[in-house]
Amino acid sequence: MCHEWSAFDYSYRVEGDSEEHSIDCLNEPEYEYARIQGDKLTTENGEIIGLLHVPINLRYDSMNPSQKELKYDVLLRLDPETGENSILYRARNNRTRIIGYQDGVIYLMNNYRIYTKTAESREMKLFLKLPRNTSYKFDWQGDYLIVMHGYEIYGVYKVR
């Protein structure tokens, strides 16, 4: 029996332009159930940087998936003017989560430690150790990483 894969149509429109533009780097079967996280987009030098969670299957919490629901996280780079797009960074597996991106620095969480790295570098630098807990959430406000535990703020950390 042959399975025919049909791509999820990842596309965007530029304001004032009626034409849809394809995000070609996501036209792969592994991204079929992935979703661009609309609340986790940023801009840098005219490009849009966005987070995607790549799940194991269709049934997952697309806004806050658990590690067991994921294959890995991906950072997407898109220049809306030229249409150029690419994968900026792909986590190796579901144990390393992308929790942020700012000024060329990727923030990763693995084993209750937060690391920093650039997309070009293989070297990860330890930024912060967290106590073992299963329910951390992260928010970014300007130059600050806010770590939440439940409904309480665990800590606020200056990143620059």
- 120 CB contacts (<8 Å, ≥6 apart)? none
116 within 8 A of 106, measured Cβ to Cβ: yes
Q: Whole-angstrom Cα distance, residue 35 to residue 40?
A: 11
- Tokens read off for 105: 């620095």
Q: Please check whether residue 110 lies inside any domain of the structure.
A: no
pLDDT per residue rounded down to tens, the chain (160 residues): 333 444 457 888 888 888 888 899 998 888 888 888 888 899 999 999 999 989 887 777 666 777 788 899 999 999 999 999 999 999 999 899 999 999 899 999 999 999 999 988 889 999 999 999 768 889 999 899 999 988 899 999 999 8
Domain extent, residue 74, equals 11-95
Of 99, 124, 128, the C-alpha closest to 113 is 128
Q: Please check whether residue 82 lies inside any domain of the structure.
A: yes
Total tally of structural domains belonging to the chain: 1
Q: Please check whether residue 46 lies inside any domain of the structure.
A: yes
Q: Please check whether residue 157 lies inside any domain of the structure.
A: no
Q: Please check whether residue 143 lies inside any domain of the structure.
A: no
Q: Whole-angstrom Cα distance, residue 40 to residue 98?
A: 11
